[in-house]
Amino acid sequence: MPKDREIRAFTVPLEVRAGEDGKAPKVEGYAAVFNEETVIGNYFREMFLPGAFKRAIGEDDVVFLINHDGLPLARTRAGTLTLKEDKRGLKISAELDGDDPDVQRIVPKMNRGDLDKMSIAFWPDVEEWHDEDRDGEKLPLRKIKEARLFDVSIVTMPAYEGTEIGLRSLQQFRADSGGNQASLRKLRMKIKQDLATRQLTAGE
The verdict on residue 66 lying in a domain is yes
**C-alpha separations of 93 from 15, 56, 75 in Å:** 10, 16, 10
The verdict on residue 204 lying in a domain is no
Strands 26-33 and 38-40: unpaired
Q: Are 134 and 161 in contact (CB under 8 A)?
A: no
Across 20-46, average pLDDT: 85
Cα separation, 94 vs 59, whole angstroms: 18
State the residue range of the domain holding 15.
6-161
* Bridge partner list, 33: 89
Structural domain count, the chain: 1
pLDDT of residue 17: 81
Q: Is 54 exposed, middle or buried (0-12, 13-18, 19+ CB in 10 A)?
A: middle
The verdict on residue 191 lying in a domain is no
Cα separation, 180 vs 54, whole angstroms: 35
pTM equals: 0.79
pLDDT of residue 173: 83
Q: Are 118 and 155 in contact (CB under 8 A)?
A: yes
pLDDT in tens, 83-108: 999 999 999 999 999 899 989 888 88
The verdict on residue 190 lying in a domain is no
pLDDT of residue 22: 61
Q: Are 65 and 72 in contact (CB under 8 A)?
A: yes
Helix/strand number for the chain, H first, E second: 4, 11
The verdict on residue 169 lying in a domain is no
Cα separation, 39 vs 180, whole angstroms: 23
pLDDT in tens, 115-144: 878 899 999 999 999 886 555 567 889 999
The verdict on residue 65 lying in a domain is yes
> Residue 80: is its pLDDT beyond 60?
yes
pLDDT of residue 42: 81
The verdict on residue 44 lying in a domain is yes
pLDDT of residue 87: 95
Q: How far is CA 31 from the centre of its chain?
A: 8
pLDDT of residue 135: 53
Cα separation, 93 vs 95, whole angstroms: 7
The verdict on residue 110 lying in a domain is yes
Phi/psi of residue 50, nearest 5 degrees: -55, 135
